[in-house]
Amino acid sequence: MSYIQVDHLQKNFWVRKKKDKRSLFREKEKVEALRDLSFQIERGELVGYIGPNGAGKSSTVKILSGILTPDGGSATIGGLIPWENRKEHVRRIGVVFGQRMQLWWDVPILDSFSLLKDIYRIPDAAWKKRLDELSGALQLEDLMRTPLRLLSLGQRMRAELCGSLLHQPELLFLDEPSIGLDSISKLALRDFLRWENREHGTTILLTTHDMEDIAALCPRVMVLGHGRKLFDGELSALLARYDTSRTVTVRFGEGNVQPALPEGLSVSREGDDLKIIYDPRKNPTADILASLQQAGTLRELTIQPQNIDHLIADMYQEMAL
Amino acid sequence: MKSYWTVFRLRRKMEVQYRGAMLGGIICQIFFGLILIALYRALYESKPQDLPLSHVVTYVWLQQAFFRMLLASDPDLLDKIRTGGIAYDLCRPVSLYGFYYMRILAQKLTGSLMRAVPMLIFAAFLPEGWGITPPASPAGFLLSLAALLLGLLCVSALENITMAFTMRTLDSRGVQAMLNLLMMTLSGNILPLTLFPDSWQRIITLLPYAQLLDAPIRLYTGDWAPQAGPRILALQLGWTGLLAALGLFLWQRNQKHIIVQGG
């Protein structure tokens, strides 16, 4: 059996709504957050978990971290059922909810960290070593004695991350961990997660809308929509499937060259540059390049794949999400 | 176990930071104390009661000094429940009830001690008939300290039940307004329980609210002799146990039906 084994998981919520503005009573409406979700994750995997807003990502994370009880289906993590063996289960996992706070607002963050030390019964020496490691990677050394309320959003986020990793969990759920981080912190976070995964074999499930984080970290991606799994596999395979447009920008040695290109491509001229947008599935890149070379001497040439966010947006649209 | 103690320490540290709130609270409570005492002096002038006036005055000062023990909810805790920050606490390998109990206890103890000590010193220097009088006997004093401690444990258990209800209703104001009315009346904060008709007192002093401050104050003033001490402490202990068991049950039920809203 896999480390994380999820079978036919279901979760419903009841939302109370007024039928129209004037009606006195509110009616209960069932929202199926998870309809029938199954997947497996092996120990040491780094998996990206994506989907549009309201797809059920956070519900999955909350069920797997033992907070919510599902309405149907089963899940085991390392042999334990999260919502039934809550205490033993949560000792081994770390969770980051990007939009919530775990550290204490009015006290220095170091105090919050020492509380976590006692909660997880981390030995003093191990705690110190780990804290050094984390505060270095997340650039927190100078902030340890500052109360949380005085930190900026990005600094707070880094401190929250540090808090979730202190007890060196074997499994890490990250729900939007890069909210509010600047580029330096974002890159540092990526490096750190990669290092954590490689060094300690930590299994990581990363939920985010930041596709660059996913692309940089996760070999495997799962796409969730309407409470169901729509895709599970390598990110490159996913991208290849929806990679429907690329842009070639080319500058010729001599001006005003008109290359003989296949029908149906969008061609536009911006100054000396010629911009050609094509679908690599219909017109192989090699063919496009060949016809450009025939037209004249090339001085500059760049090929840009579609922006990953556009690509994901196209995918969501096609999956009717 | 150590983590519960650390929560207590951390919450205490946090409470000590709110010195502005402390000063405001002291001024407010001294004001109320003086008004109430003026009122009872007027009452006694026109119609003297069986109970000595000095007992009533001492009762009022002790009630005002430990006011914070009765009426103060942890705003952070309520926020956590309202905004879903509680999700983090749910993924800790600790008992949520115990964790929150220690927070509540630390807040009530620290908050009320910070106010009570300066206020009681102030009240001790007031002229006779306005100020607090010394305890009736050393034994009564020691017993009243023990009773105060048990009262604190009892009120924290009560508060944790309110928190459990807050998890159901999300907004604590409705439940709290109702419970506060009960608390203020039945704990003797509005009118000392010692001034209630005897037949009422027999019932009211058995209720949990009377265990919080009324019982320790009566031991202090000698209204209850030290011989009654063991019976009173046992009653307090019984209520604390019962309320804690109820709170624990409610929290465990909540945990099964929890919903964390908004992603």
The ipTM (two decimal places) reads 0.80
Relative orientation angle of helices A124-137 and A153-165, to the nearest 10 degrees = 150
Q: Using an 8 Å CB-CB cutoff, list residues of chain B that contact chain A.
A: 2-3, 5-7, 10, 13-14, 17, 76, 83-85, 87-94, 256-260, 263
In total, the C-beta contacts within 8 angstroms joining chain A to chain B are: 73
Partner B contacted by A244 (CB < 8 A): no
The pLDDT value recorded for residue A173 is 95
Q: How many helices (H) and strands (E) does chain A have?
A: 10, 13
* Residue B75, in any domain of the structure: yes
Burial A127-146 (b: 16+ CB within 10 A, else e): beebbebbbebbebeebeee
pLDDT digits 0-9 by tens, A283-320: 888 888 888 888 888 888 998 888 778 888 888 887 77
Q: What's residue B260's pLDDT?
A: 61
CA A59, chain centre distance (Å): 15
Lowest average pLDDT, out of A121-130, A199-208, B24-33, B86-95, goes to B86-95
For the residues B157-184, what does the mean pLDDT come to? 84
pLDDT > 70? residue B259:
no
B262 within a domain of the structure (yes/no) = no
Q: Is residue B263 part of a domain?
A: no
> By CB neighbour count within 10 A (0-12 exposed, 13-18 middle, 19+ buried), where does B127 fall?
exposed
B261 assigned to some structural domain:
no
Domain that holds residue B156: 2-256
Chain B CB within 8 Å of residue A107 CB:
yes
Instruction: Give me A176's structure tokens.
Output: 């939007």
* Chain B contact for A13 (CB, 8 A cutoff): yes
pLDDT of residue B261: 56
Tell whether B136 is covered by a domain.
yes
pLDDT 10s digits, B195-248: 999 999 999 999 999 999 999 999 999 999 999 999 999 999 999 999 999 999
Alpha carbons within 13 A on the beta-carbon side of A24: 0
Question: In terms of CA atoms, which chain B residue is nearest residue A15?
Answer: B261
Q: Please check whether residue B197 lies inside any domain of the structure.
A: yes
- In the predicted structure, residue B263 carries a pLDDT above the cut 70: no
Determine, yes or no, domain membership for B28: yes
Domain count, chain B: 1
Q: Tell me if chain B has a CB within 8 Å of the CB of A62.
A: yes
Mean pLDDT for A178-192 is 86
Within-domain flag for B163: yes
For A294, counting Cβ atoms within 10 Å of its Cβ (0-12 exposed, 13-18 middle, 19+ buried), the class is exposed
Using the beta-carbon criterion (under 8 Å), do B88 and A95 form an inter-chain contact?
yes
Answer whether A101 touches B (CB < 8 Å): yes
Instruction: Give pLDDT, residue A314.
Output: 81
User: What rounded mean pLDDT belongs to chain A?
Assistant: 88
